[in-house]
Amino acid sequence: MLFPRESSTREQKDLNGIWRFKPDWHGEGERAEWYAHEWTDAILMPVPASYNDITQDARLRDHVGDVWYERKFRIPTSWRNKRLVIRVGSACHHASIWVNGHHVAQHRGGFLPFEGDVSSHVMFGGENRLTIKVNNVLDWTTLPPGIVDDVDDFGQPLGHRRQKYFHDFFNYAGIHRPVILYTTPQRYIDDITVRTDIEGETGLIRYDIHQAVSQEGDRRHGEEGQPANLQVRLLDSSGVEVGVCHGASGTIVVPDAHFWEPGAPYLYSLVAQLVDPRNAIVDEYPLPVGIRTVHVSEQGFFINSKAFYFRGFGKHEDADIRGKGLDAALNIKDFNLMKWIGANSFRTSHYPYADEIMDLADELGVVVIDEAPAVGLNMWDRNQTVFVPDRIGDTLLETHIHQLRELVQRDKNHPCVVMWSVANEAATYESGARPYFARVAETMRQMDATRPMAIVEYTLPDESNVADLFDVLCVNRYLGWYTDSGNIQVIEKQLEEDLRRWHERFGKPILITEYGADTVAGFHQDPPVLFTEEFQCEFLSRYHHVFDRLDFVIGEHVWNFADFATKQSPTRVLGNRKGIFTRQRQPKAAAYLLRSRWTHGES
C-alpha cells in the first residue's frame, strides 16, 4: 500500500480534527445502524488520538468494546472523474468504515493502515458523512493477544467486562493516525518495490511497479481501461534528473552515487509515471529512495559494508493525553533528543510505528528495527503453555503472517529499516514455538530476502527453540532488576556468562535490545538503591562494561527512551518508569551518562 503523496495527478484532503464520538457501551451500534444516520448524543473527540485519556470518565478510559466516530466532509466537483480512497493510518484494534451509510472497508490489526474505495458512494459538491467503528478487544486471534472476562462477581457492575493482556503497555484505543481522502486517476500506480545495491561508487536501483485500474475505469473500456506505458525518472536531492528507465521492471544505474548512511542520509526521488499512447501522463507517484546495503556476519552488522554498532532505544508511541495518537511536535522532539544523546537507532517496540515516523527516520538517517505487534505471546507462568491450539495455534499464526505481510508491504522501501523483528519475548522455550516460528521465518524470507530478521528473546540461551532460525540474536536482560533486585555487584559476571553462552551456542552477533531500571525522576540515594537516578546510572554502566569486552555484541538499546503508560498494577507507579527521559521528555541523570558514552565514549 503506497503512502498518499500529492503529485501532478493526485490530490488529498486531510480529515483529521475534531470528530463526533459515541461509546457503544452495550455493543448495539451496528445492529441499530448507527452508521445510517446522524447522532444527537455524541461528544467531541480529536483525531488522531487515543480516546482513553481525553475525558474525565474512567469508564471510557477502561472501556472494552466498540466506539464510534463520525464527521462530515465535502468533495470538490473537480474530483468527479477520479478514483477516491479513504485511508486510515491505524485504528486499535479492529475497524469498519461507512461513507453515507455504505460499508467501504474493514480491517483487523491496530498498527497498520487500511483503506477503501469510496468513489461510488460520495456526493460531489455536497456534504458527505464518514463513520468509523473501532473495537479494542484483544483475544487469542489478535496481535497482541489477550483475554476478555465477562465479570459477574458480587460487587461488580452488571455486564462489566475486563480486558486482560500479557504485554506491559497500556491498551490505548481509537483512531491513532491520520485519516486522509486522496485521489488517483482511474488507471493508477498501485505498488512499487525498490531494491538497492552498491558496486564500488555506483548505485543500483532495481524496481518493480504494478499498475491497476478501478472498477469505474474498467467499465469505461477506454484508454483509462487499457494498460499504460511506465516511465521511471530518478531525481537527485536538487531535483536534477540523474537516471531514467522504461517498463514495469528495470534497473537504474547511478554512477558516483550518494549513499544513504546512518547519520548522513541521502534520498533520491524515484518518480514513476504512467504514460498514454499520446505521451501524456496518466498517473505519477514520487517515492523517496535511499541507496544502501545491509549484511550480517558471525560477529558484525554492516551497512554499506561498514561495521555498524546500534546505539539507541526501544521506544513507544506514547504521551500524555493523546496516548498513542500521532503528534508531529512530539515526534520532532523525540528525534532531536535522540540526536542530542548520540543515538543512531531505535526499535519500533512492540508494533509498527506511524508512516510519518518512518519517513522522518529516512530523512534524518536514523536506523530502525521494524517490529511486528507480536508481543505478549507468553503468560509468564511456566505452568501455562501458550503454544497450543486454543491459544497460540493456527488461527493466531495466520493473523501473525498476515500482519507481517502488511508490515513488509508498507515498509519495504524505507532505507532506514535494516532489520525485521518478528516478535518480542515469546515463550520460545516451549516445544510448540519451533514449528510456529519456523513458518514465520520461512514466510519472512520469501517476502524480503534483502534484510536480516530477528526475534527478541528473554529466555536462557540453552532454552530457546527458535534462535537458530534468525540472523541476529536480540536479547533482553534485566539482571539486577527483576532478578537479584538491587544487587549491582552480580550484573557483570552473570551478564558476560550469559552472552557468551548465547554466542557459543548459535554463533551469531548479539544485540541487547532491552536493559534498564525503573527510575523516578528526582529520587536520589547513595549508595544507590532501586528507583533512584543513581541506581539507573550505575546499572547501565555495569552493563556497558560487559558490552565493551565482547566483540560479538553489535549494539545496545536501552529500555526505554521515555516513561510510558501501562495498565494499573501495584508494581507500576503511573506506568513504566524505565525511561531515560520522563514521559514529558525531560532528561534523567542517565541521559547525561549515555550522552557521554555515545558521543565521546565512556571509560
Q: Which residues are catalytic?
A: 425, 514
Using DSSP bridges, classify how beta strands 268-275 and 229-235 pair: parallel, antiparallel or unpaired: antiparallel
The answer to whether 470 and 445 have CB atoms below 8 angstroms apart is: no
Q: Which residues contact 522 (CB under 8 A, 6 or more apart)?
A: 533
The answer to whether 273 and 231 have CB atoms below 8 angstroms apart is: yes
CA quadruple 97, 103, 105, 106: dihedral sign: positive
CA quadruple 345, 347, 348, 349: dihedral sign: negative
- Type of residue at 330: L
DSSP 447-484: H-SSS-EEEEE-S-TTT-SSGGGSSEEEEE--BTTTBS
Q: Is residue 410 classed as helix, strand or coil in its secondary structure?
A: helix
Q: Which residues contact 121 (CB under 8 A, 6 or more apart)?
A: 99, 100, 102, 104
Please give the Cα distance from 383 to 158 (Å, whole number). 32
Please give the Cα distance from 484 to 52 (Å, whole number). 36
Q: Which residues contact 511 (CB under 8 A, 6 or more apart)?
A: 301, 310, 454, 472, 473, 474, 475, 553, 554, 555, 556, 557
Please give the Cα distance from 80 to 78 (Å, whole number). 6
The answer to whether 419 and 370 have CB atoms below 8 angstroms apart is: yes
Strand order in the sheet with 268-275: 241-246, 229-235, 268-275, 281-289
- Type of residue at 81: N
Residue from 553, 574, 555 nearest 564 by CA: 574
Grid cell in block for residue 548: 565493551
Please give the Cα distance from 12 to 131 (Å, whole number). 19
As a whole number of angstroms, the longest Cα–Cα distance in the chain is: 80
